[in-house]
Structures are given as C-alpha cells and as structure tokens.
Amino acid sequence: MGTAVTHGIRVSARARFEPAHSDPKMARHIFSYRITISNRGNETVQLMRRHWIIRDNLAGPREVEGPGVVGETPVLAPGEEFTYSSACDLRGAFGRMDGTYLMRRTADSSEFRVEIPAIQLSSALATN
C-alpha cells in the first residue's frame, strides 16, 4: 500500500491483480484498486478532478483525466474520509500508476493538487 500526504489530505492506495477478469494470452491484465482519501487538515475540501498516469511495460504510458472519481466529487470536512474502488487494465503484466487530485477549498474556492501515491501493478502470474 502506498500513502502520501499533501496539504493535510492523506491518500492511501492499494492494488490487486484480478486473474478471474484477466486473459494474459490476449495481453489483458486487470487490476482493481482501492483508494482512501482522508482530510486531516482544518478546512473542508471537495475533490474536483483526477489525473492518472498509467505506465504499462508493454504499451507504454497513458493518461486518464476527468471530473471527480467514480462519478462523484466528494466533499470532506476535517476528519472525514472517502473510499472508492475502481480498476485499470494493462497489456503487460507489470506497470505502475500515480497522479494527482485537484481539490477545492469550500471556504474560498481556492484549488490545490494532492499527490496520489504510486501503485505498483504486477500480475501474480508474472511473479511466479
């Protein structure tokens, strides 16, 4: 599990290879991941956008960018947290993903970026 803290926002990330949804012979490796975002600061914030960089050992890097996460733009008061799960596909058996969230302070609408820690993606089949 990776963890990063930026401006009082703690992001923890964990990934898991999903063999039941993968087909290595067809260069399809599916990874699920779970993210927990905790507001350890003193201000209420809202997650506005995500920006991921996904590195695939066969296909090279790609970027994923868009509003919110899993269709939501959660608001986190001090002490609150938000957890979500999603998935990523790779052609290769190894990869990595990291990125940033764009957050907005609700008090003054100022924005800041929060680091998403690197998540190592490794097929259990490839590590045996």
Cβ neighbour number for residue 70 with a 10 Å cutoff: 11
The CA–CA distances, whole Å, from 34 to 58, 60, 84 equal: 24, 23, 6
pLDDT, tens only, 31-55 = 999 999 999 999 999 999 999 999 9
Which pLDDT belongs to residue 128? 43
- Which domains are seen in the chain, by residue range? 2-127 (2.60.40.1470)
Give this prediction's pTM: 0.91
- pLDDT tens digit sequence for 3-21: 999 999 999 999 999 999 9
